[in-house]
Amino acid sequence: QWQLVESGGGLVQPGGSLRLSCAASGFTLDYYTIGWFRQAPGKEREGVSCISRGGGSTNYGDSVKGRFTISRDNAKTTVYLQMNSLKPEDTAVYYCAADWRPLSDICTFTRGHYTFWGQGTQVTVSS
């Protein structure tokens, strides 16, 4: 069964750090762009970061630029999201998703392009 599994969420104080992981099961990530999205209660799901299949292209949402870093290890079929200087407004459920792009090394936040989604991991930033 093909699936994505997020881990690494939790409760952290403002200014703290977390590293989220997105692991693929049943398939490899070599030809997939991977995106991280988040959804806070009562808000739309928004793009946080994405990384192209080769890692040559990354994008970040304006609210996380300079604080979050995305990376991937295709050998381990895992994508990471390092989150530093966390703020209460970063509180949300974080989802990773996979976009099949065997011939392209770009990434976007267009949710309709992402065909596989994980179940999400909760991140809570609070003192």
Confidence band for 1, pLDDT divided at 50, 70 and 90: confident
Look at the alpha carbons of 115, 45, 95, 85 in this order and tell me if their dihedral is positive or negative: positive
Cα–Cα distance for residue pair 80/90, rounded to 1 Å? 17
What is the tens place of the pLDDT at every residue in 39-97?
A: 999 999 999 999 999 888 999 999 999 999 999 987 878 999 999 999 999 999 999 99
Confidence band for 115, pLDDT divided at 50, 70 and 90: very high
Residue 51's pLDDT is: 96
Instruction: Return phi, psi of residue 101, to 5°.
Output: -145, 75
Residue 75's pLDDT is: 82
By C-alpha distance, which of 45, 91, 52 is closest to 70? 52
Confidence band for 27, pLDDT divided at 50, 70 and 90: confident
Tokens of 121: 């991991």
Residue 38's pLDDT is: 98
Amino acid at the residue 105? D
Mean pLDDT of the chain: 94
Q: Taking a C-beta distance cutoff of 8 angstroms, is the pair 107, 99 a contact?
A: yes
